[in-house]
Amino acid sequence: LRDRMEVLQLSGYTDLEKIEIGKRFLMPKTLSGNGLTINNATFSDDAYETIIHRYTREAGVRSLEREIASICRKIARKVVSDGKQHKDHVTGEKVTDFLGVPKYKPTDAEEKNEIGIATGLAWTEAGGELLLTESTLMPGKGQLTLTGKLGDVMQESAQAAMSYVRAKAEEFGIPKEFNKKTDVHVHVPEGAIPKDGPSAGITITTSLVSTLTRIPTRRDVAMTGEITLRGKVLPIGGLKEKVLAAHRANLKTIIIPKDNEKDIADIPQKVLETLDLYMVDTMDEVLKIAL
């Protein structure tokens, strides 16, 4: 039966789509539902943006509608006490006055270039997220430790990354026997959140190479892609959401697999114009850009 049916995959709305839905549909509906008119309450674009990023985490717009309604009810109370002429223009700063302490803190890009930290991109149902990956070295016997509640696929990516780095050690100027005297710890922060999926390979590899060569990674570069033992970069899913997450965090340089070129058509043109997209085939190309 399933073979004879067509399965439609619906991705979550992007931030730009949520803002338009808020302006065109949710706002008029909520105003009339609370006995208000456009003369009593208006929202700026950055007010919608603040609500989306700081008060909701969802693929759709249900929570967005609830938060807009919450603000409108508070404005309606002022209209009752101050009279029909009362008007509120809600901006990004004012949202906090109406809704209180933000529920979510967006992951920000790093403030400076650092050794051993690479910025990856992850797909979630609520859109894309930045996934910072850290690695560090300790005296030991070549043990690789992985933490941050990583799933099986991600752990395998880290093992493949380590094997690739060991095979290419001399080329990178890393002592060939480094693994006999050194333990490596790879950590993906926010340990309470489960993380999995085949797109962290190049991020983990970049972090490892940076740590072992003592060359800092660029803070303004985000990346996504899987790696093979030969250093080939494999395609990933959820490119649109990942690129929009990088754009949100003001990261202008993004490294993606060459095979994902076909997915660029899904990314809004406005966003594409502000970005430098590098399409790569091999890990060597990634390191030239990222380190």
Q: Which residues are catalytic?
A: 199, 242
Residue 160 · residue 108 · CB < 8 Å: no
Q: How many Cβ atoms from other residues are within 10 Å of residue 41's Cβ? A: 24
Residue-wise DSSP of 134-197: EEEEEESSS-EEEESSB-HHHHHHHHHHHHHHHHTHHHHT--TTHHHHEEEEEE-S-TTS-B--
CA dihedral 146, 150, 156, 157 (to 10 degrees): -90
Strands (E), 62-110: 88-90
CA dihedral 53, 55, 56, 62 (to 10 degrees): -130
